[in-house]
């Protein structure tokens, strides 16, 4: 099976490497040509999405947001311009489920299948191939490409029809954002009460408060390691999609709205490029404390 992969960013590069390890033949492409450096000897490098589409059986896109996905598919030199019927696109980007369904409707007219298959786990799990993949789309298409997705992931679950994958990802991002905020509040409380945040973390991680988010983010907060595994800017994008979707459905998500405002405040302070565990800095500012000091 020949696989196309568009989007060689923080997540895309290690995902490609895991596909290569699994023995897949790749054609890769990124608008930033420097991102393809290092793949010259192991994959074919294409210049346009249309070129990729003309050479492969299935395409994976891993892009920042809805506009980039639409451009790769419908834009100048985009996938549709190659006229390939029978192609499948697996969009592993995290985008609006409303846009996903719009894209699907247009691709269906062109005889192209679509799976929306956003991922969770960040750079670390992309590197070790243990991502969680949430998939929306036809059962038969999901089953056909299950092994391909599993080469990059520990978990690949079909959650429903087209758009369901991105709904699941938005649910994931709500839980992650609120969890990071809760961890921040707890560690700041410990600090203010003159109790070691590190010992509090060790004490609670084995109980009901324990979580993957707690274990992944609390040590980074305490060590003040804010290099991006998942940038605040990207989480703002996801929370914007959360709120747009909830408003479209007519339901309030008050906690999501509050954390969105916290992230926007951090972006205004110049921290948008940092990891989302930088939410601790919001609490540090409003309490005039610094974790670990």
Active-site positions read 169
d(CA 284, CA 290): 5
Q: Quickly count: other Cβ atoms within 10 Å of residue 102's Cβ.
A: 14
d(CA 175, CA 77): 38
d(CA 292, CA 288): 13
Distances (CA, A) of 78 to 67, 107, 135, 195, 243: 13, 12, 23, 56, 29
Place of tokens 């059986």: 57
| In contact, 56 and 4? CB cutoff 8 Å | yes
d(CA 103, CA 157): 21
d(CA 180, CA 217): 7
> Which stretches within the chain are classed as H helix?
12-21, 49-55, 66-74, 97-109, 122-128, 139-144, 146-150, 164-192, 197-204, 212-223, 232-249, 254-268, 279-287
Distances (CA, A) of 95 to 54, 101, 119, 154, 195: 25, 11, 11, 22, 41
d(CA 103, CA 244): 17
d(CA 115, CA 39): 26
């Amino acid at each position: 099976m020949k696989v196309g992969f568009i989007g060689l960013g923080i997540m895309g590069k290690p995902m490609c490497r895991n596909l290569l390890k699994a023995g897949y033949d790749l054609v890769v492409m990124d608008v930033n040509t420097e991102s393809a450096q290092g793949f010259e000897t192991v994959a074919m490098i294409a210049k346009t999405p249309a070129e990729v589409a003309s050479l492969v059986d299935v395409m994976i896109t891993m892009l920042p947001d809805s506009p980039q996905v639409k451009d790769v598919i419908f834009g100048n030199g985009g996938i549709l311009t190659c006229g390939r019927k029978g192609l499948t696109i697996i969009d592993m980007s995290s985008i609006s489920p409303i846009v996903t369904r719009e894209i699907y409707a247009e691709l269906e007219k062109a005889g192209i299948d679509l799976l929306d298959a956003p991922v969770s786990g960040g750079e670390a799990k992309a590197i070790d191939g243990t991502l969680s993949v949430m998939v929306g789309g036809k059962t038969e298409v999901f089953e056909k490409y299950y092994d391909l997705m599993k080469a990059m992931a520990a978990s690949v679950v079909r959650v429903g029809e087209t758009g369901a994958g991105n709904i699941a990802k938005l649910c994931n991002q709500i839980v992650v954002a609120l969890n990071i905020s809760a961890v921040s509040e707890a560690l700041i409380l410990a600090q203010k009460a003159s109790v070691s945040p590190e010992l509090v973390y060790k004490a609670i991680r084995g109980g009901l408060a324990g979580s993957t988010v707690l274990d992944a983010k609390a040590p980074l907060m305490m060590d003040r390691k804010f290099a991006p595994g998942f940038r605040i800017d990207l989480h703002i994008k996801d929370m914007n999609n959360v709120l747009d979707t909830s408003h479209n459905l007519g339901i309030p998500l008050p906690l999501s709205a509050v954390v969105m405002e916290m992230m926007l405040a951090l972006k205004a302070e110049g921290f948008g490029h940092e990891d989302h565990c930088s939410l601790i800095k919001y609490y540090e500012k409003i309490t005039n404390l610094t974790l670990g000091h």
